[in-house]
Amino acid sequence: MRYLLRFLWAVLFLFLLSFTTKNTETIVLRYYFNYEWQAPLILVLLFFLAFGVVIGILSCLGKIFKQRREIITLKKNCSVTDEHK
């Protein structure tokens, strides 16, 4: 199983490597006030992928911290009830 996973990771890596070598042309992103950003296509794709991952993680943090506080409260309540037995 371990060798199969390594093989699949290697295939994925080679696929992404070939994708990057095929998409090296420079693109221009135009913003307001005549601001432009020129970069290779793959760099722009990786930037927006990373930006999406960061936004996704930040959107989950509130729920994670709320669950963590609830778990701490439940553990305290559980230890209090165990002491009364």
Instruction: Give 31-57 pLDDT, tens digit per residue.
Output: 898 889 898 888 888 899 899 999 999
pLDDT of amino acid 82:
64
Q: What's the whole-number average pLDDT of the chain?
A: 88
Is 41 in contact with 22 (CB distance < 8 Å)? Answer: no
Q: What are the residues facing 37 on neighbouring strands?
A: 29
- The residue ranges of every structural domain in the chain are 2-83
Cα 51 vs. chain centroid, distance in angstroms?
A: 8
Predicted local confidence at residue 83, as pLDDT: 65
Does the predicted TM-score (pTM) go above 0.85?
Answer: no
**Alpha-carbon span 42 to 26, nearest angstrom:** 9
What per-residue confidence (pLDDT) applies to 34?
87
Q: Give the residue-averaged pLDDT of 75-84.
A: 75
pLDDT digits (tens, 9 = 90+) for 7-21: 999 999 899 888 888
